[in-house]
Structures are given as structure tokens and as C-alpha cells.
Amino acid sequence: MDDADKVIETFKKSGVALSAGQVAEASGVDRKEVDKVMKKLKAEGKLESPKNCYWQWKK
């Protein structure tokens, strides 16, 4: 499983909005890599932000 898969899995399992730091801690992926993956997922429309600086998997 690569870093992107770990980040995606963390979002899908959480059920709540997470900050990038929380995703990095939960997935074990470096924070800079989490930021890169999240940027790509946001551009693809797969993440939504219910509040400032927190993201969740779009349902």
C-alpha cells in the first residue's frame, strides 16, 4: 500500500473531518506527503471541508 492509499483509507475509516496533521498521525505518512496527496484529492473533488482546515471524504 502506497502513501496515497494510506491517506485515502484514513479518511474513509475516520467518519469525521480531520486536519492534515491528524491524517499524518493516524496513517503514519509524513506530513509533507499527506499535504501533497490531499492537494491532489481536493483537486479531484474527493474531499470536502465542513470547517476551516478540516477535511473529510466526500460522500
pLDDT of residue 11: 96
pLDDT band at 59 (very low <50, low <70, confident <90, very high): confident
pLDDT per position as a tens digit, 6-46: 999 999 999 899 999 999 999 999 999 999 999 999 999 99
From the centroid of its chain, how far is CA 50? 13
Domains, the chain, with CATH or none:
3-57 (1.10.10.10)
pLDDT of residue 37: 97
pLDDT of residue 34: 98
pLDDT of residue 1: 85
∠ Cα 4 59 10 (to 5°): 30
